[in-house]
Amino acid sequence: MIPRLLSLVPLAVVIACSSDANVGSDLERRVDELVAQMTLDEKVAQMSGNTAISGQYGRELWNVPGVERLGVPPFKMSDGPRGVGVHDGATAFPVAMARGASWNADVERRVGEAMGRELRAIGGNVLLAPTLNNLRHPSWGRSQETYGEDVHLLSRMGVAFVQGAQQYVLANAKHYAANSIEDTRFNVNVTIGERTLREIYLPHFRAAVHEGRAASVMSAYNSVNGQFCGENEALLKGILKGEWGFDGFVLSDFTLGTKPKSAKNGLDLEMPTANVFRDLLSQVNAGELPEAVIDDAVAWCERSWNTSSRRRARSMKA
């Protein structure tokens, strides 16, 4: 008997044609059926990239394996805030800080759309942008990547960019959260009160998720209130996926963005290659990590593919 295969592309088309009332339950059922057909090896392989950083930065698209036999396409990622890197013919857009100075969300939406179109043209499907971090000092090494220090500006420009880019690809809001320092970014612990966190450092990410419907979020290198962002249960499971109802996937910042508790605490994808997540398979086989954690992470990725495909289908139809 030939097994029934649930390809993501037909699945997205079916969901795009469904009524809003039926979309949620239909999507969850189909994603559950799809994940159930995967082997443990296939699921774990989708939780980390397999393209090492080498040569000229941005020349390659960073790959995350799909499952060809089930019609699950791979992720093909590119950085980021200024466009699709150094690929021939790619547009080098003004930095986000310069674009933010315009306070023109309509233009930023068109910028996001143009970047998304260019990435899709070279075979990519995940754009690692926008950067939505609060600028706290002009000497911050990545200050040019964000839009400024004003929370409202960050929100409006970020939402516009996400909406534009996702006409063609999946956007990635980064770096979540409270990431505003460079030289000690791997070990700094941002000690912050609940009100300050929610009024100053999180509103723009919430807007990107709720209004922009961002398909993915990248965690930050720093710690917040004693726990590394890439394994911060309060930020990832409590606020992002819990309170905000985020239906996309969370990936690590590159190379050093993953910790031992990351998968258990809500990180779905390690980039650009498996470092910590190389042990997931053995941990499951040894009974140290429930397979349900793996299933949940893969489901977030598949769900994001389908909801984003549905939005693009509706947008093109409109």
Structure tokens at 172: 């990635």
Between CA 280 and CA 264 the distance in angstroms is 10
**Strands laid side by side in the 189-190 sheet:** 189-190, 223-224, 227-228
User: Looking at this protein, which amino acid is placed at residue 146?
Assistant: T
Nearest Cα residue to 169 out of 218, 112, 211, 225: 112
- Rounded to whole angstroms, what are the CA distances from 83 to 113, 251, 318? 11, 19, 26
Q: Which H or E element spans position 202?
A: none
- 257 φ/ψ angles, rounded to the nearest 5 degrees: -100, 10
- Rounded to whole angstroms, what are the CA distances from 316 to 16, 168, 308, 313? 11, 10, 12, 5
Instruction: Assess whether 296 carries a catalytic annotation.
Output: no
Which one of 253, 268, 279, 295 is the catalytic residue? 253
Catalytic residues: 253
